[in-house]
Structure 1
Amino acid sequence: MSTVGVTTWWLEQRSLADLVPAHIPDSVSAIRITRAEVPSPEFSRFLYTAVGGDVTWTDRLGWDHARWRAFLERPGVETWVAYDRGTPAGFIELDGSGDGADGNGDGDAGAGAVDGAVEISYFGLLPAFRGRRVGAHLLSYGTARAWDLATRWDGRTATGRVWVHTCSKDGPHALANYRRRGFRLHATTTAEEPSTAPPGPWPGAY
């Protein structure tokens, strides 16, 4: 199997003061962002495949219904969805559960329970909604929700750090978008990974 070099960038904010809110143009002001409070494996999988189908999100494609539900029901996990006139446009998923990056045990496993770290585990837009500054609005709003996450969970440690990683397989503007919102680069890694075609939002879509 052929491989490809993948660069991963790790970014963080250490204070709410680091967040640079996005300017919201009139064309985006009608976008509604709402938390999906009822854990729904079906809905979350739809968002994951609809947003990540063309940027090679594959880590969760093998998750069964029980694994999706177990992840979504962990205290400190939140999904915030942007809607354009009632249609889902994108989502940002926050993981403040302390169990590490999407429960796989990588990243900063356990940090959320110890020092209030919150990971932006997934963030993105459906293709039709990109290039309209919806992403800047959603990332700004979602990062603010990471900083006040403790107010929605009893016994939760106040957020002390918000972190995220993106890689060269993601959309071409992902890294710049995070930096514009005040995230600072703190580590870069490079690894060879199997060369995989984008899976598309459903089998046969491409």
Structure 2
Amino acid sequence: MPTPPDLRVVPGLPPGKLRVVITFLEMTSPPNAPKLRPPVEKLALLRAERPTVSFYRYLYNTVGEPWLWVDRRKLDDDALAAIIHDPKVEITVLYVGGVPAGFAELDRRGKDGTVDLRYFGMIPEFVGIRLGPFLLGCAIDAAWTGGARKLTVNTCTLDHPKALRLYQRAGFVPVRQEVRIADDPRVTGVIPPNAAPQHPIVTS
């Protein structure tokens, strides 16, 4: 694991800002671990082919709001559709009992066979029942069987506290870290102000 950056280089945060530590990970060969068995019954894994923008926003916003995912929220419908309808972007949805429980998004638009696990996460009601490791394993398998030469992902200190460990257990290796100061999307109005209470809003 790379040496964590010295957070003291930013002694304080201005109002409305967030300090985010991003960890970049990669996998250069398929993992050797056996595939995980489905942890629950009535489970289905389906690729969303040209999903509607409204359905994608439901997935992205519901999964990402507790962790302050903001990038795709800021895109207008046309810009978002151009990404999620690209044939090299694969969005797979996990259903439990016919209900969406989480999704994984593989981006194959990179160079030299690099595939990025751009988004991955569970709808809050389905967190904690071992569905996350199962979905992650399926996404990793899909990346490699689809011709990946390298698989990348990143996580940050706004994510679920077990996210980094989950990626490492799946076979990803941390390669670098960065510290960024970002606008708090709850202050800018992109995300509701009561989201992610585990990260207090800096007001003064």
TM-score normalised by length of structure 2: 0.80
**Alignment coverage as a number of residue pairs:** 181
Find 1:4's aligned residue among 18, 37, 41. Answer: 18
Residue 163 (structure 2) aligns with: 174
Contact 1:19 1:144 in 2 (8 A): no
Find 1:135's aligned residue among 114, 132, 135. Answer: 132
CA deviation string 1:42-92 (max 9, x = no partner): 211110001001110011112111111111122310000000000000000
Whichever residue aligns with residue 124 of structure 2, its letter is: P
- 4+ residue stretches of structure 1 with deviation over 4 A? 198-206
SS of residue matched to 1:187: strand
Give the structure with higher Rg (CA): 2
**Cα gap change, 1:65 to 1:182, in 2 (>3 Å):** same
Contact 1:13 1:182 in 2 (8 A): yes
CA deviation string 1:160-189 (max 9, x = no partner): 001000100111111111111011111111
Taking the aligned partners of 2:122 and 2:96, their CA distance within structure 1 comes to 11
**Percent of aligned pairs with the same amino acid:** 35
Whichever residue aligns with residue 137 of structure 1, its letter is: F
Residue 200 (structure 2) aligns with: none
SS of residue matched to 1:123: strand
Taking the aligned partners of 1:31 and 1:193, their CA distance within structure 2 comes to 37
Offset at residue 147 of structure 1 (A): 1.1
Contact 1:81 1:89 in 2 (8 A): yes
Find 2:51's aligned residue among 39, 58, 68. Answer: 39
Taking the aligned partners of 1:165 and 1:38, their CA distance within structure 2 comes to 25
Residue 119 (structure 2) aligns with: 122
**Cα gap change, 1:89 to 1:192, in 2 (>3 Å):** same
RMSD (Å), alpha carbons: 2.4
Indicate yes or no: 2:182 matched with 1:193: yes
- Correspondences of 1:39-188 after superposition (within 5 Å): 39-98=51-110, 111=111, 115-149=112-146, 158-188=147-177
Contact 1:19 1:183 in 2 (8 A): no
Contact 2:92 2:104 in 1 (8 A): yes
Taking the aligned partners of 1:166 and 1:172, their CA distance within structure 2 comes to 10
Taking the aligned partners of 1:69 and 1:132, their CA distance within structure 2 comes to 32
SS of residue matched to 1:34: strand
Residue 24 (structure 1) aligns with: 37
Contiguous gaps of at least 5 residues in structure 1 = 99-110, 150-157
CA deviation string 1:122-160 (max 9, x = no partner): 0000000000000000000011111122xxxxxxxx310
Taking the aligned partners of 1:194 and 1:201, their CA distance within structure 2 comes to 10
SS of residue matched to 2:74: coil
